[in-house]
Structure formats: C-alpha cells, structure tokens
Amino acid sequence: MTRMPIKHTPRPTTADDAPFVSRTLARAFDDDPMMRWFFPDDATRDSGLTRYFTTLLLRQYGRHGVCEHTDAAAAFWVPPEGQDKAVPDAETVRQLEEILGDRAPLFRDAVMAAAEHGPQEPHWYLAVIGADPAARGQGHGAALLRAGLARADAAGLPVYLESSKPSNLALYEHFGFAVLAELRLPGGGPALWSMRREPQRPAGV
C-alpha cells in the first residue's frame, strides 16, 4: 500500500480544525520551557496544553488573526489591524485562568512582562508556531513561517515574535530575525527572547 504524502502547503485554519491543531500544538510545545513553567505536571500537561491552544484559537487568534496549518504544524499570526482586537476579553481570560489553575498569576505576570517589550510600530506578530515532534525537520514549520513572512514583506512591515526555547533562536535568525532583548519571566520563570525581522524585498526587486 502506498502511503499518502504529508502536505506542507499552509491551509486556513477554521473552528472545525481546532481539535487537530490544538493536539498538534500541544505535542509541539510539550518540551517548551515556558509551557513547562505554566504546566509543570507531566501527567496533565498534554490535556492542559490542548485546552489552552483550543481557547486561543477559537476565542482569540481565530477571530482576529490569521491561523494556518499543514498536516503536522500550525501557526497563529496577528496582522497590524488586528492587534487591538486580539487582546483577550474577559471570558477568554476566565477560561485561560481555569485551564492554568494556580499557575494563572504566573501567566498574567508573564504576559504583562512580555507586553512591556512589544513594539509600538505597525507590525505582524507571530503569536504561535509549532510542529509535531514526529515531523520536525520535514519543513512544515518553515512552510508556515515563509507564508507569514511573505505577507509581511508584501506590506513592507516588520515581524515580531517571542521565543522561550533557546534552540529556536538560530532557526529564526536564519529567516532574518534578530534578538531585541532577553528577559526573565517573573516568579523565577524561564528566559524569553523578543525578536524582530525587518521587511525584505523579494529577490530581483
């Protein structure tokens, strides 16, 4: 029997895709230092992360961002015009606090600390990107990254992200990002690196 090829082409993410996308991102972020800080219990991390990403997709980035996925990865972007609207509303905050439990105050402090380093200029924001560990190195995350960067480049806008995984810094630098600042999350949390990418002209322009 011939195996079906795994698709790398980014596709729009809808509410119907939430179960698959959330499980994919839960696996992708299982070893992320910040997510392990928010979800320290190995036994419940997978279910907690799945609920966390479901809430972000359905209540936040799916409404005011650009969400895409491949067969093994997903990315949530926020365009400049959606950044004010993408701030979590009261119900979203309530759901996230329920999911995080006693780690909710640490989450709030981390969000506030990161926001202090956010850019004031118009920009695209890469909120979430992750690939299933079983498919890492196959180009799924790169395909999603290139698609989003192309939109930002077409608009002549920079791109901003935060990374809490040191091993990802070189990957982002390969795509043109540079570290702006390194901060330590409040309460003894892990390091977080803010990164920015200048808009780039297409080759030959």
In sequence order, the β-bridge partners of residue 77 are 66, 126
- Mean local confidence (pLDDT), 21-42: 97
**What is d(CA 46, CA 52) in angstroms, rounded to the nearest whole number?**
10
Q: Are 157 and 124 in contact (CB under 8 A)?
A: yes
Identify the pLDDT of residue 185: 87
CATH number assigned to the domain with residue range 11-197, chosen from the 4 options 1.20.1250.20, 3.90.78.10, 3.40.630.30, 3.40.50.150: 3.40.630.30
What confidence tens digit (pLDDT) does each residue in 148-198 have? 999 999 999 999 999 999 999 999 999 999 999 999 888 888 999 999 999
pLDDT band at residue 138 under the 50/70/90 scheme: very high
pLDDT recorded at residue 203: 57
Q: Beta-carbon neighbour count of residue 162 at 10 Å?
A: 19
Confidence of residue 2 (pLDDT cuts 50, 70, 90): very low
In whole angstroms, give the CA distance from residue 173 to residue 74.
20
Domain ranges of the chain: 11-197
Strands 124-131 and 159-163: parallel
- Residue 76's pLDDT is 97
pTM of the model: 0.92
Question: Is 4's pLDDT higher than 50?
Answer: no
